[in-house]
């Protein structure tokens, strides 16, 4: 088998985060070195528990899960229970996890791993607010040149925001952290709402998960049934956007996505547009290109990959 890609998933589960984790666990090309939890969709106490529930659902209680930041760098924590439910994983009934939470802090784990693994071999996959990643960069700036790349879900350009008119949730919750990350010089691949709003959990696609007939397939369908309610009402669509698995799918099948290299700057001063990802899509400034901003997705290919990989668990 060709060498596995080493990844760290930084996450705030969240049903779509959960599907992203399951996709990684079902994919032999990926070596999940650890999962770091951050406060976001729900508080840290729940995201660090939910990550373990999902590892156990995926049959991988051996995966190491670390708790990180319990609040953004500067602003108060904004959560999204209206989307994800009180637990963050409403939908299926999943047992309390028995696998332990690691004692080490997530930021220490990130720094230690990125400094000890060979340079340029670890991809970091943030699926929530970027607080842990920014803290790691502040703690040990040398990690910036050692990270292979960051592939993240966050931001929006043509679609506008989902939390404010210009703010996508992950970036809006901790814009100062996003600013640190986008200025870090690490190669970034960004999956914005422009992509994820084309990846809808239609009734037919959810049924394909349920038809797997496995605990993972049924729990995934239950999660998606719950999670899409809010967005179906909001956008008037059949299904809601399945955001976070786009990140893991990109590692497995980059050809499902297309985009362009741009400068992305984060708004951190205006309260009106706080957390906006200002994408220089048309290259109208001389600001340096710092991200590959995705704009399109083969949604049928994406869901086919998800069903196939979750079917292995």
Among positions 84-143, residues that touch ligand BDR (CB under 6 A) are 127-128
CB of 117 to ligand BDR, least distance (A): 25
Closest CA to 294 of 266, 253, 237: 253
| Smaller CB separation from ligand BDR, 111 or 153 | 153
**Contact call for residue 169 and ligand BDR (CB under 6 A):** yes
CB of 23 to ligand BDR, least distance (A): 14
**Contact call for residue 83 and ligand BDR (CB under 6 A):** yes
Could you give the angle at which helices 44-57 and 215-235 cross, rounded to 10 degrees? Answer: 140
CB of 250 to Ca ion, least distance (A): 15
| Smaller CB separation from ligand BDR, 205 or 243 | 243
Among positions 237-256, residues that touch Ca ion (CB under 5 A) are 244
**Contact call for residue 194 and ligand BDR (CB under 6 A):** no
CB of 170 to Ca ion, least distance (A): 6
Closest CA to 221 of 198, 197, 239: 239
Catalytic residue list contains 283: no
Could you give the angle at which helices 215-235 and 299-310 cross, rounded to 10 degrees? Answer: 150
Long-range CB contacts for residues 54-57, cutoff 8 Å, separation at least 24: 54/13, 54/18, 54/21, 54/22, 54/89, 54/94, 55/21, 55/25, 55/97, 55/99, 56/94, 56/95, 56/97, 56/98, 56/99, 57/18, 57/22, 57/94, 57/215, 57/216, 57/219
| Smaller CB separation from ligand BDR, 16 or 179 | 16
Separation of alpha carbons 158 and 108, rounded Å = 36
Chosen residue from 8, 14, 72, 257 binding ligand BDR by CB under 6 A: 14
Stretch that binds Ca ion, among 4-12, 24-32, 182-190, 304-312 (CB under 5 A): 4-12
Residue with tokens 């870090």: 184
Known catalytic residues? 243
Binding site for Ca ion (CB under 5 A): 12, 14, 17, 127-128, 244
Binding site for ligand BDR (CB under 6 A): 14, 16-17, 41, 80, 83, 127-128, 153, 162, 168-170, 243-244
């Amino acid at each position: 088998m060709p060498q596995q890609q080493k990844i760290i998933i930084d996450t705030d589960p969240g049903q779509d985060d959960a599907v992203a984790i399951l996709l990684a666990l079902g994919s032999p090309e990926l070596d999940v070195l650890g999962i770091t939890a951050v406060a976001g969709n729900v508080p840290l106490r729940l995201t660090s528990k939910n990550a373990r529930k999902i590892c156990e659902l995926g049959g991988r209680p051996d995966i190491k899960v670390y708790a990180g930041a319990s609040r953004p760098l500067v602003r108060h924590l904004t959560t999204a229970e209206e989307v994800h439910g009180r637990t963050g994983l409403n939908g299926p009934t999943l047992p309390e996890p028995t696998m332990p939470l690691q004692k080490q802090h997530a930021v220490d784990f990130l720094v230690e791993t990125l400094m000890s693994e060979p340079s340029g071999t670890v991809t970091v996959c943030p699926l929530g607010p970027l607080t842990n990643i920014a803290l790691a960069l502040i703690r040990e700036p040398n990690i910036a040149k050692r990270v292979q790349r960051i592939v993240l879900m966050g931001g929006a350009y043509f679609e506008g925001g989902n939390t404010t008119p210009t703010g996508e949730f992950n970036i809006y919750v901790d814009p100062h952290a996003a600013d640190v990350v986008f200025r870090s010089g690490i190669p970034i691949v960004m999956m914005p709402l422009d992509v994820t709003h084309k990846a809808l959990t239609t009734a037919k696609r959810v049924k394909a998960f349920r038809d797997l007939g496995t605990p993972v397939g049924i729990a995934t369908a239950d999660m998606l049934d719950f999670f899409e309610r809010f967005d179906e009402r909001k956008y008037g669509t059949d299904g809601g956007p399945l955001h976070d698995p786009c990140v893991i799918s990109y590692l497995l099948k980059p050809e499902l996505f297309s985009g362009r290299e741009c400068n992305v700057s984060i708004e951190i001063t205006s309260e009106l547009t706080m957390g906006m990802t200002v994408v220089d899509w048309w290259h109208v400034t001389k600001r340096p290109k710092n991200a590959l901003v995705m704009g399109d997705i083969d949604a049928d290919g994406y869901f086919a990959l998800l069903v196939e990989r979750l079917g292995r668990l």
